[in-house]
Amino acid sequence: MNARVTLARYARWALVGAALVLSLDRLASAQSLGAVAKEAEAQRKTTKSSGKVYTNDTLRSAPAPTPAAAPAAPATPAAEGATGDAKAKPDLAKDEGAWRDRIKTERDALARSEAFSAALQSQINGLYGEFTACQSPPQCSEVSAKRQKAMGELERVKKDIEAHTKAIADIQEEARKMGVPAGWVR
């Protein structure tokens, strides 16, 4: 009977030790948020600018087409025939670049937000392991506060991801309604 109790105690301590080793391993392998931020900054510096950046402010300041002018524009090239198509080609190429820039800007922002979200999740996992391994209450409360702050930031980033995903869908829908070729916004 005594051997069973002793064996059970050793088994419990072995499980606790294994959990501690695993949590410390996660903590050691987790990349700090500062390191991720430095990598992202270095990547932004090496990436060339794609040109003009469209923001909500620049889109609002652009004059909206009048309803009477919109139907007249498609009717004109159809009436002119081949000469109208030759004049329309440069405008379509210019529009293609604008559409590609808009969708690329949103996709880049989405990719940055997703990378930041993954880094935050890694940090949260590491802080959880550190919290479970801490033994002094002041240290535990400090780690818990850091973890709560990171979780709040993760929620904000998840909302950004949803906003960028919606913006991409909105751009694709707008392009579809305007008759833009699907390849321009892929």
Please give the C-alpha separations between residue 43 and each of 13, 38, 73, 104, 106, in angstroms, as whole numbers: 46, 9, 43, 16, 17
In the chain, where does DSSP find H-type helix? 2-29, 33-46, 56-61, 69-80, 82-133, 137-178
Q: What is the DSSP letter of 30?
A: S
Question: DSSP E strands: which ranges in 20-61?
Answer: none
Determine the pLDDT at residue 35.
Answer: 79
Interatomic CA distance for residues 109 and 102, integer angstroms: 11
pTM of the model as a whole: 0.48
Structure confidence at residue 92 as a pLDDT band (50, 70, 90): very low
Determine the pLDDT at residue 172.
Answer: 87
pLDDT surpasses 60 at 67: no
Interatomic CA distance for residues 128 and 144, integer angstroms: 8
pLDDT surpasses 60 at 141: yes
